[in-house]
Amino acid sequence: MLLALCLVTLSGVLQLAAAVATITLVLVTGIESVLGLGPAIFLTAGALAALPAGRLMDRHGRVPVLLGGFAIGATGCLLTALGCVLDSAPLVVLGFLGVGGMNGAVLLARTAVADMYPESRKARAISYVLFGALFGAALGPIVFRPLFAGKELELDTLVVPWLAAAAMCAVGFILVLAIRPDPRTIAFELERKGLAPNVAPSTEPAAPLREILRRPGVPAAALAAVASLAVMASVMNLSGYIVVGHNHEQADVFTVISVHIVGMFGLVLVVGQLVDRVGRHRALVGGLVIMSISTVMLAWVVQIPALSLSLYLLGLGWNISYVAASAELVTHARPVERQGLVGFTDLVAGLTAASFALLGGVAYSELGVVALAVAATVAVLAPAILLTVRRPPRAVAAGAAG
């Protein structure tokens, strides 16, 4: 419950970042062509934070790193607010780095919960924590929409929302303080009781990352995790500008983003059980296909209900692929290896998402939304085809299904 509540607060802050990161940087620089740079900074910071955060979690426990993540996030929100007050691009960029760093660290809470469950229920365990982010979908509009309603979109308008986001980070910090014992301690106990079969004792040092990445099932899960997160995050972070570009009001962005987050997490409890039942490989492919339907829709939909449906499907497809990928990754890694492996995957996915956001911003500003939609569709459909052609051996696939 506490880990899920951490994602409630994280989701609320990320809604603000997704909705106004592009606008904030464009306003503070006065350069419209940098519309993809805000999300790129945010995503790059999250990616670069994920790997060291994961390794620190494996060495020192999950709780200290989650605390540090929320502290860095609160600082980032305050710096962004100050940058808006002073019209300072460097301060806004530093703030984005802090918020992105928090995302990279705190998002690892989704796999920290897997420490507490046996292999056959890891997907469901991950879904329990991700479900918390659904309430963040409601938290964003409740907190932020009134702060923008009826106001011109100026730098002064952005100050109070970023201060409110800092307060959310402080709440997350307090929640983490209540987590006892550390989930890593529970994982060690499960190993001692023999509930984690297929892994070596925790007294053995962690295997090299390159060796872990070659284990059966890991490459496919890593590919799906990277493709799904990169496309989802880049499109989500550009969606605010897409909505405004269709001549809708800034307040409407929160409606679209909220529906998107409902897609990401609304059915996550069902998805977790479904993944454990039908098999993770099928779920990896199915989620990517749903995402491709969503991104194709962006080429022609204009009205808010249709845009909301597109972003809903984007979130739902990501949900299915990412839960399956996360469960598969933690299944093939020991407690002293898990967060490092997931952190590495998040690193690659985040850097890819940042690149997609930059390229997508250029494609949108120069060629229009159709070019962005086509590129995003190719980015998720190609891995789905590859995973379909190169299915895992029957024995491995059966084991992965739990």
Cα separation, 30 vs 197, whole angstroms: 57
pLDDT score recorded for residue 34: 63
Q: Which two tokens stand for residue 109?
A: 């809470």
Residues 6+ apart with CB under 8 A from 189: none
Cα separation, 343 vs 330, whole angstroms: 11
Which residue do the tokens 């900074």 mark?
Answer: 41
pLDDT score recorded for residue 401: 41
Cα separation, 239 vs 309, whole angstroms: 13
Cα separation, 36 vs 32, whole angstroms: 9
pLDDT score recorded for residue 167: 93
Residues 156, 157, 161, CA angle at the centre, nearest 5°?
Answer: 115
Nearest to 322 by CA among 391, 275, 355, 356: 275
pLDDT in tens for each of the 402 residues of the chain? 899 999 889 988 887 876 777 778 878 887 766 666 777 787 788 889 988 998 899 888 999 999 999 999 999 999 999 999 998 989 999 999 999 999 989 988 887 888 888 777 878 888 888 888 777 766 766 777 777 766 666 788 888 889 989 999 999 999 999 998 998 888 888 777 765 544 444 556 778 888 999 888 899 999 999 999 889 988 887 887 788 777 777 667 778 887 887 888 788 889 988 898 888 899 999 999 999 999 999 988 888 899 999 999 999 999 999 889 988 998 888 888 888 898 999 899 888 888 887 788 778 878 888 888 999 999 999 999 999 987 665 434 334 443
